[in-house]
Structure 1
């Protein structure tokens, strides 16, 4: 018997429709915090041994002896809508590559699940519809998704399985690719489909409270894993990405069962667990000054750093990673042994490099993305070190990825140090301080432009973690966003008001 031939590809983008900057094709070429774009044979040659869905799928596929037919794999940093031209160029590469692959036994795609483009609310649903049109109704099509996927009816309809990450911070992206391979193996072996159950939850969940290492998600995902069995081989809960203004934004449960009753029962059990925890999905958020003062008080007796999440300027949720609210709060309140990163400002990075290490430079730092309540911070800084921005991020989230933040520097003002970069990636790895000479474990206070992913590498070195809300593109309170297009009746925060279309 010849080996199964499986076409593979990847196209990942998390879209914050309220963010200031759209995703261009070039963003997918470079990848930001993701690996760079790969095409053709380079997809399966280079997307290996890293923490992305396709890498895990490749591992299992090769163990199974499958022949892989690669198309394209790419990802870009979260931002506003994907440009129409970028989407069409990449989607065409995937669809045409599959169409040209010859006889296939299945298709696997590594997608995000929360892509909104300039011309489609549901970027993944549209892509899967195009793929399904090319491969026909009988060929198996399985997909791995981000935990933050806004799963839509079209996605469920066109895919035979949607398999979502179960950790946030996402340390199981490759494992999810392996889970997708296992489901595909079941489809290939049985020549039958599984029944599908799809449930949309009635309230949005802020991303700060989607963390799976703390409650309530910790218990929900543990129970979800226990429910998987021969009769329900795949079960997913995606809390959603609550910054995409379209009707299908929000948390979803998807179950696949041997019978419809199997799928329905499993989905309903998880839905009840989520509904019963609605109160727990709304935690304490500090204002900038309040948070810094609290962190300084804790640091006075702490033996490890106090870590602050600058959650509203999280580049992993569409922020430009350039707001200055938390920097101002550190300086206003006299914080010492403090560091913040990454502030992305290519113009300031060029000026720091021109000034040279050891010299002082006057900058209008950050604040260039037009966020209300934010502005450039105009001051003189000591340039402590310079970097080309290239380094390896070995922590559990980036998983050994090669990073390139472009011309970068360590700036100091008072006893506060700043990681300055030219390209955005959320600060989710200790190496993102070390590459400019800041030792994170030696600081009293660390401010990370991230919401949750940083926890994977920083919880072990943190005395405690607090969440602050300085001005930024991704409000910690989902009710603060100017929603216009949600589905009627969904609550815009846990226990919040129901959305009413105008």
Structure 2
């Protein structure tokens, strides 16, 4: 069996060009829900057992038995505004230096996102691959795994030898996606020659409409999965990241086969299914007041989950807007919990007063969004934490949330109570552990409010009475009409035809 020397590296960022913040080197170095920047053998040891593409790729390499794993670097930063040139150049330079120092290589595996925008480049991943290609040459086998929300460009598809993309949303198959990529890299090294076909869809789909457990995504991704894993041909579907104002924003299809005709045939079959599904995407949203009133009127087993989709920090939002909290208080909601509100100042006060203490203050509302302001009230401290919280849900199990000094606050309103989990660092509320860590079982609440879009569904939707998507102010636009796009390619529809 021929021994293969394969370099492994990862550089992940999902960029919200509408967010005012930037991702500098420090943001890639710090641990959040994923590890901080890893180099050398720590890339393998620090990600092992996690639902990460690079962990899956390493596992597949080890199972193959003929791969020498050469780990170089892996890093990711919490979604935000563009990656700074300094961070991009330094991290890219470290990857390039590692590839050069590795000596003769048979292939390179890259764990990327697909929606990275930098201060200078609309397509950060394509620029990284361009720099790697200049050093390795056109014949080097380069496998790339990408996120479900990748905005694929022709340049990226041309530069990569093979691409694999997450097929679930919530992303429960990130590790599997990395493993599939490594398998395709090995097939290529063993002589499997393929051509690629690629096409971009003419419309955008808001992220809250992209649940793969519901139609039309369910059928679309079933069509992707119907091609046997043992086949030398395969197809991938990316649904795009609508907060990246770039020409290549939106859904796309990429197909691999031994002949150009077969690749085009496969692509057109799925692409036509995507086009015919356009009107089936449910893009509806309820106002905060409508959602709270609806939740309070429902009867049955389990909580009603309200998703504050436009303030999802997992898509670059600030996680501190107060629209949904105000609606809860205004309606006199009871046995309700909201998380995660990011407010380091309030967390510091809670730790100062201690459990059982109470204080007046203004919670959240500091992101500068028009119409949003701090929620002023009287808060009672119910629980405190250092913010290191092991995840227990399927998507992030094995990882630890690093949310900084944090607390559980109670807001009393005419004998009714609203609980709020507050963090010092932005964290998407996608795992029940972010509530149970503070002693609250969300299934014992009547209303559960999460600052998330889709990922929460894996851990919160089972056993819930209903899930409602809420349109409250936030830095991640789900209401695309009227959004100030400047760079989208000509003819791209902002919303699917309804």
- TM-score, with length taken from structure 1: 0.96
In the other structure, the counterpart of 1:499 is: none
State the Cα distance separating 1:229 from its structure 2 match: 6.4
1:408·1:436 contact (CA, 8 Å) conserved in 2? Answer: no
2:206·2:283 contact (CA, 8 Å) conserved in 1? Answer: no
In the other structure, the counterpart of 1:248 is: 248
CA distance in 2, matches of 1:400, 1:348: 29
State the Cα distance separating 1:400 from its structure 2 match: 2.1
In the other structure, the counterpart of 2:162 is: 161
In the other structure, the counterpart of 1:13 is: 13
In the other structure, the counterpart of 1:473 is: 475
In the other structure, the counterpart of 1:82 is: 83
State the Cα distance separating 1:233 from its structure 2 match: 2.6
After superposition, what is the alpha-carbon deviation per residue over 1:417-455, rounded to whole angstroms, capped at 9, x for unaligned?
A: 000001112100000111122211111000000000000
CA RMSD of aligned residues (A): 1.3
**Aligned to 1:268, what secondary structure does the other structure show?**
helix
Displacement over 6 Å in runs of 4+: none
The one of 299, 304, 313 aligned to 1:306: 304
- Quickly say closer, same or farther: Cα 1:380–1:42, change in 2 above 3 A: same
In the other structure, the counterpart of 1:400 is: 398
CA distance in 2, matches of 1:373, 1:91: 40
2:10·2:110 contact (CA, 8 Å) conserved in 1? Answer: yes
In the other structure, the counterpart of 1:421 is: 423
After superposition, what is the alpha-carbon deviation per residue over 1:167-216, rounded to whole angstroms, capped at 9, x for unaligned?
A: 000000000011101101110111x5310001000000100111101111
**Aligned to 1:480, what secondary structure does the other structure show?**
coil
- Structure 2 residue 130 is the aligned partner of structure 1 residue 129: yes
CA distance in 2, matches of 1:376, 1:127: 40
In the other structure, the counterpart of 1:377 is: 375
2:31·2:402 contact (CA, 8 Å) conserved in 1? Answer: no
CA distance in 1, matches of 2:8, 2:204: 32
2:227·2:234 contact (CA, 8 Å) conserved in 1? Answer: no
2:358·2:380 contact (CA, 8 Å) conserved in 1? Answer: yes
The range that moved more, 304-313 or 226-235, is: 226-235
CA distance in 2, matches of 1:326, 1:82: 30
Q: Which sections of structure 2, spanning at least 5 residues, go unmatched?
A: none
State the Cα distance separating 1:363 from its structure 2 match: 1.7
**Aligned to 1:141, what secondary structure does the other structure show?**
strand
State the Cα distance separating 1:368 from its structure 2 match: 1.1
The one of 464, 481, 493 aligned to 2:495: 493
1:10·1:110 contact (CA, 8 Å) conserved in 2? Answer: yes
State the Cα distance separating 1:261 from its structure 2 match: 1.0
**Aligned to 1:489, what secondary structure does the other structure show?**
coil
CA distance in 1, matches of 2:372, 2:429: 20
- Quickly say closer, same or farther: Cα 1:486–1:218, change in 2 above 3 A: same
CA distance in 1, matches of 2:212, 2:25: 32
State the Cα distance separating 1:311 from its structure 2 match: 0.1
CA distance in 1, matches of 2:48, 2:141: 23
After superposition, what is the alpha-carbon deviation per residue over 1:327-383, rounded to whole angstroms, capped at 9, x for unaligned?
A: 101000011000000001111111110111101122221111111221111211001
1:84·1:119 contact (CA, 8 Å) conserved in 2? Answer: yes
1:469·1:475 contact (CA, 8 Å) conserved in 2? Answer: no
In the other structure, the counterpart of 1:209 is: 209
In the other structure, the counterpart of 1:35 is: 35
- Quickly say closer, same or farther: Cα 1:230–1:172, change in 2 above 3 A: closer
**Aligned to 2:481, what secondary structure does the other structure show?**
helix
State the Cα distance separating 1:89 from its structure 2 match: 1.1
State the Cα distance separating 1:2 from its structure 2 match: 5.4
CA distance in 1, matches of 2:254, 2:348: 48
In the other structure, the counterpart of 1:365 is: 363
The one of 306, 313, 316 aligned to 1:315: 313
In the other structure, the counterpart of 1:483 is: 485
2:211·2:454 contact (CA, 8 Å) conserved in 1? Answer: yes
CA distance in 1, matches of 2:214, 2:404: 34
**Aligned to 1:327, what secondary structure does the other structure show?**
helix
In the other structure, the counterpart of 2:287 is: 287
- Structure 2 residue 435 is the aligned partner of structure 1 residue 433: yes
CA distance in 1, matches of 2:340, 2:20: 18
State the Cα distance separating 1:399 from its structure 2 match: 2.2
After superposition, what is the alpha-carbon deviation per residue over 1:64-118, rounded to whole angstroms, capped at 9, x for unaligned?
A: 1211111110111111101111111111111111111101110000000000001
Q: Which sections of structure 1, spanning at least 5 residues, go unmatched?
A: 497-502
2:359·2:380 contact (CA, 8 Å) conserved in 1? Answer: yes
CA distance in 2, matches of 1:325, 1:402: 29
- TM-score, with length taken from structure 2: 0.97
CA distance in 2, matches of 1:8, 1:229: 23
After superposition, what is the alpha-carbon deviation per residue over 1:118-171, rounded to whole angstroms, capped at 9, x for unaligned?
A: 111100000011111111111210010000000111110110111100000000
**Aligned to 1:60, what secondary structure does the other structure show?**
helix
